[in-house]
Amino acid sequence: MDYVYHFNNLFKEPLICDKFAVYQVGELMASGSTIVTDHFQYCYEITYVVSGRGESVTDGIASPLSGGDCYLSFTDEWHRISSDKQDPLRYRFAGFTSEDPQIIAVFNELKRLFPSPGDRKIYCPECEELFLKLLGEMNFSEHGGFYIGALLTELLLTILRARKNLRPGENAAIPAGRDMLAYRISFYVENNIFKIKSLNELTDVFHFSYQYISAVFYKVTGTPLHVFFISEKIKAAKHLLESGRYTVTKIAEMLNYSCTHVFSRMFKKYTGITPKKYALQHSATDCLNFGDSKEPPDREESGGANKTN
């Protein structure tokens, strides 16, 4: 099999991790010609797509894959994965079984919710962090098995809960009410503030139009969604400025502002002072880093007026 790299913890004897017997945990960065050939599933397997495109085939039925997708493979099935030649897959995976009655009940519920090989995929970006922790834990022995078991349990329950928010036949997260949708929006924004470039991206996460998402959020919280988004950016910027470790330019870049000037103007609009002044007043370090001369000057200090505020 051709690939860029293949980090694979494959155990001849399953690794006992609390309630689970783990057979493999790893990550594969495919090349354009990568094909994971047909293999028989002796265990349950979760595949999480980090990036790229491809397809997963179970018992001859194909499902397209792209970033953020989770794909479930059950026991006693034939399974293979192929990667797109132009946009190769990068994915993480975990194979395991369990004889614990509670975990078996979760397996059975997942089988009920994902009955067809053509309906084993769900968009679940929340799983990315869990897989990162899972892969990182493979290097530790002390208490590692217990924590790996806890992470696998959380992975299963995360997918289960995401699926239960779907209408039959739809691969879209439909909350059980507007309050829940507003909560999920706020939770997602708070935990992905450095990733989100535009609020329009939420349409791909929640599978509703932006107009609907925005209207529900405002009706439940009383705060316009774009205002909440900016306030979370400002909150994150404050923490970074207080650390004294980052330039204003770098913080603007981290928070996906088009330029330092736009970030500084927005920060002053919401806080009343420039990022530079805020850092001077609140930094916990003695070595403040304001970056290079390309950053905008403090208009108040230079005598200029900020006409955009």
Range of the domain at 281: 226-302
d(CA 2, CA 25): 19
- Whether 25 and 153 map to the same domain: the answer is yes
- Whether 119 and 67 map to the same domain: the answer is yes
- Whether 113 and 202 map to the same domain: the answer is no
For residue 44, give the CATH number of its domain.
Answer: 2.60.120.10
d(CA 239, CA 283): 9
Q: Which residue in this structure is represented by tokens 């909440």?
A: 228
pLDDT of residue 171: 42
Cβ atoms of 14 and 23 closer than 8 Å: yes
- Whether 196 and 274 map to the same domain: the answer is no
CB burial of residue 152 (10 Å; 0-12, 13-18, 19+):
buried
- Whether 159 and 10 map to the same domain: the answer is yes
- Whether 197 and 251 map to the same domain: the answer is no
d(CA 63, CA 54): 9
Mark which of 142, 164, 186 sits at the end of a domain: 164
pLDDT classification of 8: cutoffs 50, 70, 90 = confident
- Whether 140 and 27 map to the same domain: the answer is yes
pLDDT of residue 146: 86
Percent of the chain with pLDDT strictly greater than 70: 82
Cβ atoms of 44 and 75 closer than 8 Å: yes
Lowest mean per-residue pLDDT among 35-39, 234-238, 254-258: 35-39
pLDDT of residue 173: 42
**Strand, coil or helix: what is 16?**
strand
Total number of domains constituting the chain? 3
Cβ atoms of 176 and 165 closer than 8 Å: yes
Q: Is the pTM of this model over 0.85?
A: no
- Whether 9 and 107 map to the same domain: the answer is yes
Per-residue pLDDT tens over the stretch 133-189 = 888 887 665 556 888 999 999 999 999 888 876 433 334 444 446 777 888 888 889
For residue 272, give the CATH number of its domain.
Answer: 1.10.10.60
**Dihedral angle computed from the Cα positions of residues 157, 160, 165 and 166, in that order, rounded to the nearest 10 degrees:** 160
- Whether 114 and 57 map to the same domain: the answer is yes
pLDDT of residue 29: 86
Q: What is the arithmetic mean of pLDDT over 192-219?
A: 89
Per-residue pLDDT tens over the stretch 24-59 = 999 988 876 666 778 899 999 999 998 888 999 999
- Whether 231 and 218 map to the same domain: the answer is no
